[in-house]
Amino acid sequence: MGTNDRAVISLVLFLVCMASRSLGSTETEAVVEQSRSLVPSIYVFGDSIVDVGNNDFLPPPAPRARSPYGIDFAGTGMTGRFTNGYNLADLVARRLGFMKSPPAYLSLTPLTNLDLLKCRVGANYASGGSGILNTTGNGTLTLQKQIMLFSKTKARMWRCGLKLNYMISKSFFLISAGGNDFSAFSEMGMGEEDAPAYISSMVSTYVEHINALYKLGARRLGILDVPAIGCTPGSRVPMANSGCNDAANSMAQNFNKLLRLEVATAIATSMPDMKYSIASTYNFLTDLMDNHLVAGIRVVERACCGSGKLNAAVMCSKPNTTYCSDRDDYMFWDMLHPTQATYERGVVAIFYGPQEYADPINFAGLVDIATDINTTMTPSVSAI
């Protein structure tokens, strides 16, 4: 990357971070409450990047986000979120006019379930540890299972009447998946020669899942690609000089490239009404690492919560782990997951940033939010 390109990215990150400060953890939810959201509902699918508590209702070995996870979430303590505060699903929801992510599907009571069935709220079906492939995520809700649960939900939403299909078509569907499939790839002892076929299987299965959502009425789809999995603190631990695992990052990049190609082809040929955006969490995180001081992030390689080398030898909340007090200065909360501070910057980038961070359009384009630079610098209540 040339000097001019780096300067442009630095400027973009600076603008992004200035904008994201309007959603800092010190603000009250009342500040961003709207009388009307920008979409009827949000439906969330995927892994721990967007899970808001479904795993709390699953038996072991499904992973759970125990204390101190959620320590900065409006003083409520345990939230089922695999970070210190709001996760990415929450912050996407806030940009769309909601207080936070819709509730975890498995947490719904008869009363709150009625709100879902009457089209008053959406639902979050995500499950930490799950993947695109059914073989990924022992004890979790696979992506296929999550979509099946949404299908069952829709079948019971007859109370919405004739507006049901319209409401779903205008709602926002968010998916985060793929990172855990690469963890499974490593755990199965597969080698570099197995990667192309494995990635191809991941992408073809992902497209099938997207097509299933399309058949259920989804028409506004936000996809998060696989981030720089080789640069998490946990991936750095075994590496010389605590550097990134380039082999892992290369697999993520190959997956992301093929995903864009196959999704574009599938939507053009068999999902003509689908409006979609693929957010490059990979590009954002690597650019943020390279420009972290400009972006207001002080610590990149080390996890805030954990123990051992880089505070990332074991998962946060395990015995003898500790957590930092200056969490807004850290890029990563634990050995795998970003902090709320990182998510805040990332969400503004994928909503308002250039195609480097979201393509073929950004998330704002999915819901027709104005993307004038003055709007991104000083987000109004209606844009938060």
CB 341 within 8 A of CB 328: yes
Of 159, 177, 154, the C-alpha closest to 47 is 177
Q: Where are the domains of the chain?
A: 3-383
Average model confidence (pLDDT) across the chain? 89
- 245-276 residue pLDDT tens: 999 999 999 999 999 999 999 999 999 999 99
Cis peptide before 360 (omega within 30 of 0): yes
Question: What is 3-383's CATH topology?
Answer: Rossmann fold (3.40.50)
- Residue 186 annotated among the catalytic residues of the structure: no
- The per-residue DSSP string of 159-214 comes to GGGGGHHHHHHHSEEEEE-SHHHHHHHHHTT--GGGHHHHHHHHHHHHHHHHHHHH
pLDDT exceeds 80 at position 304: yes
Cis peptide before 63 (omega within 30 of 0): no
Which candidate in 20, 22, 41, 48 is catalytic? Answer: 48
- What is the enclosing helix (H) or strand (E) of 331? strand 330-332
Place of tokens 């990357």: 1
- The per-residue DSSP string of 97-156 comes to T-SSSPPBGGG--HHHHHHHHTTS--EE---TT--SSTTSSTTS--HHHHHHHHHHHHHT
- Cα separation, 30 vs 213, in Å, equals 33
Of 229, 221, 222, 220, the C-alpha closest to 199 is 229
- 150-209 residue pLDDT tens: 999 999 999 898 899 999 999 999 999 999 999 999 999 898 899 999 999 999 999 999
Q: What is the pTM of this model?
A: 0.91
- 113-150 residue pLDDT tens: 999 999 999 999 999 999 999 999 999 999 999 999 99
CB 181 within 8 A of CB 131: yes
- Name the token pair of 122: 């959406």
- Name the token pair of 221: 């789809």
